[in-house]
Chains A and B, each alone.
Chain A
Amino acid sequence: MEIISQDALKAWKSVLAYVMQHGKPVHHRQRDSIDCLNLLVTVLQVAKRIEEPITALNSLGRWVYPSLEEIEECVMPTGKTRNYIYTYGPRLFNVDSKNQVDDFLIPLLKNRPETGRAVLLTWDTRHDSQASGREMPGIVAFDFKLREGALNATAFIRSNDMFFGWPANIYQTYVLQKYVAGKLGARLGAISTFSTSAHVYDDTLPHIKKILGKRMKSGDAAG
């Protein structure tokens, strides 16, 4: 299933409505949830209202959502990330002293703009491919495609809480996209997220309904 939308807020609401309508029950992390497999979401105008899903979450006033600054820090190399069990920044910019972004991705795209190999991995098989491991990255890879001077970014997400997680994930992808595009001198293209498990938890359904208002029709899911 693909959801295409002009802005992040519309995309998010469409995704939530779709998962609520079509999701199947699954018991996940000791909680009841409903999930859809292999959901592709594309936001066409990324600079427009990219943080609005986060603003909408904060407006409910019930919890402390990470600030934009915190979300940005966790994906970029300068992050103060001591508190987290894992975070994306070090896995992208400093794995065994290897900087995937500045030493591989950006030179590759500069030399071969049409390349299909511009992939960043956050999944580290040494730590993450263990049945008894603690927390492991939800976003397992990022892919970048330069088309007609615009940098398109895709995040591959193995397990995606679409209510709480997706707003931060799309913003993280945007931050990375902006960084790479800035180094390349490219425009910002679309952002896509491919969630192999796009789910929402049952205990968040009342809050999702507040976000969606009365908008629960399946026709809206096409964005």
Chain B
Amino acid sequence: MKEKRSQDVLLAFRGRQEGMSTSDVASVVYADEFSRIDKVLTSQYVPPQEVRRAKGMKAQLHRRVLYHLNRLIEKELVRVTRTDTSGEKYYALDIDGDEEIVFGDYRKRRLVLSKPRVANLPTGAFEEKKIAVRFGGEAWLDSANAVVLDMEDLSSLYRAAAPLYSEINDVIAVNNFTNHVNANSAEKLVEFCKRMLVDCKDFDRRFSVIVDPSQLSPQGRQRLLQMLKMNAPAEHTVKFIFETSTKELQGNYEFFEEVFNVYKARKVFFKNKDIVKSPYLMGKAGPYTFDDAEWLALDKQPKALVAAQTTLMVDIKKFCESAEFSFNAFEDLMHRTLKTLFSASSMQARRTDACFKHLLNLSGGRDALMIARDYIRFWNYDFLRTAYDSGVMEGVFRIMRKRTRAFCTSQEDIYVSCGMPTRFQAVFSMVNPSTPAGLFSTPLNRDRLEISSLRDFHSDGFRENVRSKELLSDMLGGGFQMTLHKKGESNPEEALREVNILLSTYRLPFFAYEADAPKGELKNLQTFA
């Protein structure tokens, strides 16, 4: 029995890089007991004698774990890594590589414990369980995630973008593309678009083009429509993001009608200029944007401006299913995520010259990173709403956002006081719903936001659904993209009215409009039986 318990204590270290305190080990080895004790100690409604009893039991479990830990230290299987100021010791495995451990003489049990492979970062244990996932995998620090370019002409734009595929691992975006549309022929624009499509496919990158239709010349409109026609059916599309407002949508009615005609069943992306001024981009990981106040404070956009440096993705459903959800546990996960992002950001920043040579050249120095942020993306972000209710989800996100801001400010203050003033801003966003299956937990069955006609905008169900999207948009300040699905084939005139309602009525900075595929165009049906 004692040997089995020592083995359990050893197994508690599996996958852990950083030291574990006695409490940490006890909470793993005696998980059920700890869970019951925790419930008593965190409850407001338990009588004092029950609380005293729970504390006594906790102390007893600690003593049991300490007994086994001391035995393991004697056997040189565990070592003390440090002692904190309260006197609590921290332990780690004292083995190198893979090793067989045999317990007892009468029963040989083959137990393999190896040195944890995940880098020594606070989210190590969560990454082992795939609750936290780095975007970019092991090479996640070798590149930034997203950049916005603003260049004077099309050829220098292509020359600028091409070397960036090794420095940016998700999306390259072009701001003020309207200028290029107005200044170049349709042939040149189509050629540019073709080259970007090929590059996107070859390098597995995404490309966003930000267009303000109100700035298009009459000829520019025709050229852009030609580009859209060429782009629309392609597999790896260049995403066109239309920056508009209610007034401008109405002022460019015919143009947008044509856009919907071209796109048919494909998503058309909109950014609401009345709500935000900073650009939005759409990457593999999800949407990106800048802090609006920081964007507006720029005197002039540098030629290259990084929107996101590093990204950690958190599977909320998997986290809640791995252990019963508690606010403290989620707070711990978020704190570790922030610490990991900060450490990662620092490591990456110290390699800036090596990793971002081209970016730095383009922007003339460190300006490329001056308003960059680090991203925490949530998969199944609304799991708490389905498991509990909207109030719980909102409450948790609000507090976590507040804690995140406080942590970022603290880190900046710490580094300033050390004579190393640096920037760290972390922000929440969503994981792209079209992320390949298998990486995360099963996607939640969400009610699609869909309409058949204008009447649907007035239904209670629709309004409640959109309000929850507004809330999420507010919580996930790094970018939230919702899609309005139109049942039935695309009708440009109706689409315009429907988009207008979204622009004028709801607080949604970024959304897409998608109609059903036209009848008879089932691409996967080759012949009739």
What distance in Å separates the Cβ of A158 from its nearest Cβ neighbour in chain B? 11
- Please state if B352 and A82 are interface contacts (CB–CB under 8 Å): yes
Tell me if B's interface is mostly helix, strand, loop or mixed: helix
Quick one: which of B60-84 are within 8 Å of A by CB? 82-84
Q: Which residues in B have their C-beta under 8 angstroms from that of A83?
A: 346, 349-350, 352, 366, 369, 422-423
Query: Which residue among A74, A83, A137 has the maximum number of chain B CB atoms within 10 Å of its CB?
Result: A83
CB-defined contacts of B83 to chain A, threshold 8 Å: 59
Complex Cα gap A61–B83 (Å): 12
Question: Which stretch (B31-39, B406-414, B439-447) binds chain A?
Answer: B406-414
Docked-complex contact B366 and A82, CB < 8 angstroms: yes
The residue that A70 contacts in the complex, of B82, B346, B410, B423, with Cβ under 8 A, is: B346
Instruction: Say whether B418 faces chain A, with CB atoms less than 8 Å apart.
Output: yes
> Could you say which residues of chain B place their CB within 8 Å of the CB of A139?
419
> CB distance B418 to A71 under 8 Å?
yes
Could you tell me the distance between the alpha carbons of A194 and B514 in the complex, rounded to whole angstroms?
66
Which A residues touch B415, using CB under 8 A? 66, 84
**Is A138 within 8 A of B419, CB to CB?**
yes
CB distance from B486 to the nearest CB of A (A): 47
Cβ–Cβ < 8 Å partners of A160 in chain B: 417
Are B366 and A165 interface neighbours, CB within 8 A? no
Cβ-defined contact, B414 with A82, below 8 A: no
Judge whether A210 is part of the interface by a CB distance below 8 angstroms: yes
> Given the known A-B contacts A165-B418, A168-B419, are A82 and B349 also in contact in the complex, defined by CB atoms under 8 Å?
yes
- Inter-chain CA distance A55–B81, complex, in Å, is 12
- Tally of A-B Cβ pairs under 8 angstroms: 96
What is the 8 Å Cβ interface bit string for chain A, positions 138-175, against chain B (1 contact, 0 not)? Answer: 11000000000000000000001100110011001000
A64 in contact with B339 given A80-B351, A82-B352 (CB within 8 Å): yes
Residues of B within 8 A of A80 (CB): 350-353
A86 interface contact, C-beta 8 A: yes
Q: How distant is the Cα of A60 from the Cα of B84 in the complex, in angstroms?
A: 7
Considering the chains assembled together, what is the distance between the CA atoms of A93 and B416 in angstroms?
21
Contact-residue size bin, chain A (C-beta under 8 Å from the other chain): 35 or more
- Please state if B85 and A172 are interface contacts (CB–CB under 8 Å): no
CA A137 to CA B405, docked complex, whole Å = 25
Task: Let me know if A211 is at the binding interface, CB within 8 A.
Answer: yes
B417 adjacent to A213 (CB under 8 Å)? no
**Cα–Cα distance between A194 and B135 once the two chains are bound (Å):** 46
Give bound CA distance, A95 to B108, whole Å.
67
Partner of B414, one of A55, A63, A85, A138: A63
Q: Is residue A18 within 8 Å, beta carbon to beta carbon, of the partner chain?
A: no
Residue of B nearest to A74 (CB): B420
Residue from B84, B407, B411 with most neighbouring chain A CB atoms (10 Å): B84
Considering the complex, which residues of chain A in the window 158-206 have a beta carbon less than 8 Å from any beta carbon of chain B? 160-161, 164-165, 168-169, 172, 201
A47 within 8 A of B: no
Residues of A whose CB lies within 8 Å of any CB of B are 29, 55-56, 59-61, 63-66, 70-71, 73-75, 80-88, 134-135, 137-139, 160-161, 164-165, 168-169, 172, 201, 210-211, 213
Please name 16 further chain A to chain B contacts, defined as beta carbons within 8 Å, in addition to the given A65-B414, A168-B419, A213-B85, sorted by A numbering. A60-B85, A61-B84, A64-B343, A70-B420, A74-B419, A80-B351, A80-B353, A85-B421, A87-B419, A87-B420, A134-B421, A135-B416, A160-B417, A164-B413, A168-B417, A169-B419
What are 16 sample pairs from A and B whose C-beta atoms fall under 8 A apart?
Answer: A29-B413, A59-B83, A63-B339, A64-B339, A64-B342, A64-B414, A65-B414, A66-B415, A81-B350, A82-B350, A82-B366, A83-B423, A87-B419, A138-B419, A165-B417, A201-B413
- Ordered nearest first, which 9 A-B pairs have the shortest CB separation? A83-B349, A165-B417, A168-B418, A161-B417, A82-B352, A135-B421, A80-B350, A85-B421, A59-B84
